[in-house]
Amino acid sequence: MKALLNETEDKMKKSVARLEHEFTTIRAGRANPAVLEPVVVDYYGVPTPIQQMAAVSVSEARILVIQPWDASTLKAIEKAILASDIGITPTNDGKVLRLAFPQPTEDRRKELCKSIKKLGEEAKVAVRNVRRDSIEKLKAKKKASELTEDEVKDGEKKIQNLTDKYCASVDQLVSEKEKEIMSI
C-alpha cells in the first residue's frame, strides 16, 4: 500500500510540475526564453527547437534576442516564429532576431487569466484522475483479498488527502500567476 501511495504522490507532483512549466510559456509582457520552447524550425528537413540552433537571451526586460550559430538559419527561424502562435513579429537586422514584448492591454491580461484558470483546472482534473486510478487499484487489491476493508478505507482517505493537498497547490499556483499577470 505504501508503494501505491508513493506512486500516487509522484504522479500528482508531475501534474503540478507540468502546470508550472506551462505557466513559464505564458507570455506576460516580460521577455522569457521559455515562450520559444514550442517553436520548432525546419532545419534541413528536421524539426529543431530554436534553443538548439541559437543563443536565446534577454537583453532588456521586454526584449528577447535570438542569435543563430549559423547565420544562414536566420530566415528559417524568423519564418518559424511568424508561423507560431506567439503573436510577436521579430525584427531582423541580418545578424540577430529581436522579439519586443509589448505591454499587455487590460483585455489581454484578462484573456491570459482565463487561460491560466483553464490550465489550472486541467491540472486539477489530472490530479483527480490519478486519485481515481489509485482508488481503483486499492479496490482491485481488496477484491484479490490482498487488503482488508479497513486498509482500503484508510488508503482511500490518504489518497484523498494527497488529492486535496495537490489541488490546493494548483490553486495557489493559479492565484500567484494571476496576480503576476494583473500587476504588469
- pLDDT tens profile 15-41: 999 999 888 877 666 778 888 888 899
Q: Residue 91 in contact with residue 100, Cβ under 8 Å?
A: yes
Q: Residue 58 in contact with residue 64, Cβ under 8 Å?
A: yes
Please indicate, yes or no, whether the overall pTM of this predicted structure exceeds 0.85: no
pLDDT score of 89: 87
**SS3 state at 98:** strand
Measured CA distances, 12 to 6, 122, 135, 143 (Å) = 10, 12, 14, 25
pLDDT score of 27: 64
Position with higher pLDDT, 167 vs 30 = 167
pLDDT score of 28: 66
146's grid cell: 490482498
Q: Where residue 160 falls among pLDDT bands split at 50, 70, 90?
A: very high
Look up cell 488527502; give the residue: 161
- Per-residue pLDDT tens digits for 55-100: 999 988 789 999 999 889 999 999 999 988 777 889 999 899 999 8
- CB within 8 Å of 84: residues ≥ 6 apart: 38, 39
- Phi, psi for residue 75 in degrees, rounded to 5: -65, -40
